[in-house]
């Protein structure tokens, strides 16, 4: 009975992402961007911990009536894709035709990517950009680059969703996880800091976001370029 309640609790934790996405959307409609990203960061943390908990408490075996994977995908599309795309367009970072191009690339490309059964690699990384637009748009809010740079970043990342370019999962990709996990934790810390100071351009959080984002975005590609050394067998 205890195992079943633990498994159910994990499902209920995952489901809180729906509430967090609604709170973020309400803030976005009112153009309260710092508050919106604050809720999205909380949702990101929940998404980061519910997976390991689901595996630990074997939710598929102990509470199979709920499909945790389906629940997670629904919430991820709202928090990772739909709300960030809305914010990118509504905030004015990209408006007019550029905004339309961006949001169509984001929402259309991401729904196809989410449905692709080949999105995970053998080492639990992602094949193609994993549609983490919540993270990308937050960094764009912090940096406020020229609209041309913003458009190029969005279109390029949307294109890479349909390639075999590898992107790490900071929790599940074992190779370099000793660095990836702290980098992911640092990203959350710097993102929270940037939100707290309302994306002040002189905040050190900007540099932290740039460094941690660069690792999370490029580590998988470097792993593809630099093959992993085979461990020597004992006695060899």
The three-class DSSP label of residue 163 is coil
Exposed, middle or buried: residue 95 (CB in 10 Å: 0-12, 13-18, 19+)? middle
pLDDT, position 3: 84
pLDDT (tens digit, 9 = 90+) per residue, 183-219? 999 999 999 999 999 999 888 999 999 999 999 999 9
pLDDT (tens digit, 9 = 90+) per residue, 5-42? 999 999 999 999 999 999 999 999 999 999 999 999 99
Model confidence at 232, pLDDT cuts 50, 70, 90, reads very low
The dihedral built from the CA positions of residue 182, 141, 37 and 200, taken in this order, carries a sign that is positive
Q: Which of 111, 134, 130 is nearest to 39 (CA)?
A: 134
pLDDT, average across residues 207-236: 83
Cα–Cα distance for residue pair 181/149, rounded to 1 Å: 28
Model confidence at 230, pLDDT cuts 50, 70, 90, reads low
Exposed, middle or buried: residue 92 (CB in 10 Å: 0-12, 13-18, 19+)? exposed
Domain limits of the chain? 2-225
* Residues 206/194, Cβ–Cβ less than 8 Å: yes
Q: Which of 45, 46, 37, 55 is nearest to 12 (CA)?
A: 46
**Residue 123 main-chain phi, psi, to 5 deg:** -95, 20
Top pLDDT among 204 and 234 is at: 204
pLDDT, position 236: 42
38 contacts: CB under 8 Å, gap ≥ 6: 27, 192, 195
DSSP 81-130: IIHHHHHHHHTSSS-HHHHHHHHHHHHHHHHHHHT-TT-B-TTS-EES--
């Amino acid at each position: 009975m205890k195992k079943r309640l633990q498994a159910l609790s994990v499902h209920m934790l995952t489901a809180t992402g729906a509430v967090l996405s609604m709170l973020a959307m309400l803030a976005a409609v009112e153009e309260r961007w710092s508050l919106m990203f604050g809720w999205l960061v909380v949702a990101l943390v929940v998404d980061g911990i519910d997976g390991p908990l689901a595996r630990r408490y074997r939710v598929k075996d102990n509470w199979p009536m709920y499909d945790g994977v389906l629940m997670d995908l629904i919430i991820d599309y709202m928090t990772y894709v739909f709300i960030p795309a809305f914010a990118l367009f509504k905030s004015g970072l990209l408006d007019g035709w550029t905004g339309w191009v961006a949001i169509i690339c984001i929402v259309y490309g991401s729904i196809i990517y989410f449905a692709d059964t080949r999105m995970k690699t053998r080492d639990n990384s992602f094949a193609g950009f994993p549609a983490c637009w919540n993270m990308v748009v937050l960094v764009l809010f912090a940096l406020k680059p020229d609209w041309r740079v913003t458009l190029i970043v969005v279109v390029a990342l949307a294109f890479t969703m349909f390639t075999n370019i590898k992107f790490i999962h900071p929790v599940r990709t074992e190779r370099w996880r000793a660095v990836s996990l702290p980098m992911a934790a640092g990203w959350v810390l710097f993102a929270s800091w940037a939100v707290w100071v309302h994306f002040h351009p002189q905040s050190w959080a900007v540099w932290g976001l740039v460094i941690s984002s660069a690792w999370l975005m490029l580590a998988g590609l470097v792993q593809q370029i630099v093959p992993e050394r085979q461990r020597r067998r004992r006695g060899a």
